[in-house]
Amino acid sequence: MAKLYFYYASMNAGKSTNLLQADFNYRERGMATMLFTAALDDRYAAGTIASRIGLSAPATMFDADTDLERCVVDRHAHDALSCVLVDEAQFLSPAQVDQLARICDRVGIPVLAYGLRTDFRGALFPGSARLLALADELTEIKSVCVCGRKATMNLRVDTDGRALAEGCQTEIGGNDRYVALCRRHFSEALEN
């Protein structure tokens, strides 16, 4: 039986790098994969999954209206897929996560989803919440806080490095906008 996997972490933990390595492993063995990335992530070239260490691969972009199940079923009919990999999975809608589960259960293709668990306020993203509920396997990818403890939180900062506690849930950015911290340092930053 194919499984739905959710690999989650704070910012800068290597989620995209892990996804690209998994994709490489499948393709190296002659197996076809299908990669998805969020259309709203405009940090790199459109339709590209890129890691901070320089790895990249083309991907199908998804937004709130994308029928992932249809995309996969159509592609699978012409090119037998061995795995579906989703980057920026926190931006999936709950309905899209349900589609990914059906891809596993009805089509028999494993799905590996990689994303943030929580936003800059410490609240779950809707896609991540649904993945936490439905995934067959949950794996935390570790990142490190400035103090050396495990980073689990994503602090949003302004251009001067000051912590922000308000704003839209989704704001695309990298090291210029977010800092991965342990819960203690996250809370302390918001209190100052």
Q: Dihedral, CA atoms, 61, 130, 132, 34, nearest 10 degrees?
A: -30
Cβ–Cβ under 8 Å, residues 10 and 140: no
130: left (phi over 0), alpha (psi -120 to 50) or beta: alpha
**pLDDT score recorded for residue 159:** 84
64 pLDDT higher than 80: yes
72 has a pLDDT exceeding 80: yes
Distances in Å between the alpha carbon of 176 and those of 9, 46, 66, 162?
18, 20, 29, 11
* Selected residue with higher pLDDT from 37 and 159: 37
The residues that are catalytic are 88
Query: Residue 15: pLDDT above 90?
Result: yes
182 is in an annotated binding site: yes
Least confident of 43-47, 71-75, 141-145, 148-152: 43-47
Pairing of strands 153-157, 137-140: unpaired
| DSSP category for residue 130 | H
Each residue of 95-126: pLDDT tens digit?
Answer: 999 999 999 999 999 999 999 999 888 899 99
Share of the chain above pLDDT 90, in %: 71
Mean pLDDT of 125-150: 96
Q: Is residue 69 part of an annotated ligand binding site?
A: no
- Beta-bridged to residue 50, according to DSSP, are 56
Would you say 150 is a known binding-site residue? Answer: no
Between 122 and 167, residue with greater pLDDT: 122
User: Taking a C-beta distance cutoff of 8 angstroms, is the pair 84, 62 a contact?
Assistant: no
Helix (H, G, I), strand (E, B) or coil at 95: helix
Question: Considering only the top CATH level, what class is 4-142?
Answer: alpha beta
